[in-house]
Amino acid sequence: MTLEKFRDSGKLTRIAYDILTELVKRKTEEKIWKRREGAAGTCLIFGSGSLILYFFFYQKKDFDRLGRLNEFFHDPVLLFFGFISLAAAIVFIRFHSKRVEAEDDYDDLRKEVIERENEIWVKEPDEAGRYEVIHFLLKNKDINLFYK
């Protein structure tokens, strides 16, 4: 079942449908930013790890004399891994802030839906329709509206 079918069957009002659709959209956006943050974090770990491995295992002999330090910092492999690490760190920080922002937007709307449940849901004596919709959102969309 989908939210449209719940709306068409009368278990959701138009307002509830619009709010829940927005909630699903925000949850999807949060998942996208979380996945992007994970990919950027993986690149950051790979770039930084490669830089450290190259620095300590392949260029350890260059620490012997201070005169070779200039040559060391002009090594193209070191510059490449340094650039990759710096770029990945910048992207990771940006994606992390976007994920936190998307997570906050989602949590704010979710809490508002829980607080204003009497205004949003269709009044039923046994609340079976409301329970069915909330259970659908929890099972299929990973949105928990049972508690804050």
Confidence of residue 72 (pLDDT cuts 50, 70, 90): low
Task: For the domain covering 3-141, report its CATH number.
Answer: 1.10.287
pLDDT one-digit tens code per residue, 81-97:
889 999 999 999 999 99
Task: Write down the residue that tokens 């490449």 correspond to.
Answer: 80
pLDDT one-digit tens code per residue, 109-122:
999 999 998 888 88
Q: Which residues of 76-93 are buried (b: 16+ CB within 10 A; e: fewer)?
A: eebeebbebbeebbebbe
The pLDDT value given to residue 81: 86
At 14, the amino acid letter reads: R
Instruction: Let me know: does 27 contact 21? Beta carbons within 8 Å.
Output: no
Instruction: Let me know: does 124 contact 130? Beta carbons within 8 Å.
Output: yes
Instruction: Let me know: does 122 contact 129? Beta carbons within 8 Å.
Output: yes
